[in-house]
Amino acid sequence: MLEVIDKGKCTGAHPVPLLFVHGGWHGAWCWDEHFLDFFAGEGFRAAAVSLRGHGNSGTEQSLDSCSVADYVDDVRAAADRVDGSPVVVGHSMGGYVVQKYLQANDAPAGVLMASAPPRGAMSASLRMMRRHPWAVLKTNTFGSTHDVVRTPRLARGHLFCRHTPQNIVDDCVALLQPESALAMKQMLSKNRVRPELVSTPLLVLGAVEDGAFDRSEVIATAGAYHTAAEFFPAMGHNMMLEPGWQVVAERIATWLSSRGL
């Protein structure tokens, strides 16, 4: 059974629900920290799904055998639970999954936050290998996919900026978990998104101090969907947990309101 944390309700001003999709190693909890209450307070129905094997979502298969297609199925199932056609918001790996979902499913709008680009995460993987070769080697041999973010030092380098208070990093690290080895492998380059199949209007957001996906990748993602990327200063990859999270949430709410959503 998929975990879906669901808060607020649709209103006349915001008639369409929002569905938030987390990135690798995370679960719905990362949206529940700030975003769900914020959007519920602004008159939205805001829901977050934990993909299979994440958070409190179960899985009948081993986590390492979960594929990107499985995660897309989870987004589709969660969308059906909230009304069938919500606005979809994806972060990091969740942004990649959202792009895959939108290839075959309509949505009134979508938001990509520090998202993996359509071409995949090979460049991000190579950067991580250069910065932390031992952790990556361990992950790819006798260790776990968790090893690259297992400690506060590693997590800060990948998920947070240098200004983030240590307690925020520590709290996040305590909740991080292994990710599917298959899904991570598929994201490297062999399972690319086809932007030409996506007709949903997208808002593309990036963080200036993102340790996972750099500025050029976020710009390329926006360009693939014929829009411009917007960047937030003094912020790392986990844009929903960084101290500036509210500015990001307000930008999303303003953009949705401008579209009658």
User: How far is 40 from 51, CA to CA, in rounded Å?
Assistant: 22
Euclidean distance between CA atoms 177 and 159, whole angstroms? 14
The tally of CA atoms less than 13 A away on the side-chain side of residue 84 is 0
pLDDT tens readout for residues 26-80: 999 999 999 999 999 999 999 999 999 999 999 889 888 899 999 999 999 999 9
Model confidence pLDDT, tens digit, residues 70-128: 999 999 999 999 987 999 999 999 999 999 999 999 999 999 999 999 998 767 666 76
What is the pLDDT, as a whole number, of residue 21? 98
Closest CA to 87 of 103, 108, 104: 108
51 contacts 19 by C-beta, under 8 angstroms: no
pLDDT value of position 128? 67
> What's domain 3-258's architecture?
3-Layer(aba) Sandwich (3.40)
Please give the residue that has the higher pLDDT: either 144 or 84: 84
**Residue 112, SS3 per DSSP:** strand
| Calpha distance 72→38 (Å, rounded) | 26
Model confidence at 136: pLDDT above 70: no
Task: Give the global pTM.
Answer: 0.94
pLDDT of res. 50: 98
Distance separating alpha carbons of residues 119 and 96, to the nearest angstrom:
10
- How far apart are alpha carbons 79 and 77 in whole angstroms? 5
Query: pLDDT tens-digit profile of 235-260?
Result: 999 999 999 999 999 999 999 999 99
Confidence (pLDDT) at 70: 97
Percent of the chain having pLDDT more than 70?
90
Instruction: Please give the pLDDT value at position 149.
Output: 83
Banded model confidence at residue 147, pLDDT cuts 50, 70, 90: confident
Q: What is the pLDDT of residue 33?
A: 98
Q: What is the pLDDT of residue 141?
A: 52
CA angle 196, 127, 29 (to 5 degrees): 70
pLDDT for 139 equals 55
> How large is the average pLDDT for residues 176-183?
93
Is the pLDDT confidence value at 228 over 80?
Answer: yes
Residue 216: predicted pLDDT: 94
Residue 94 in tokens:
């969740």
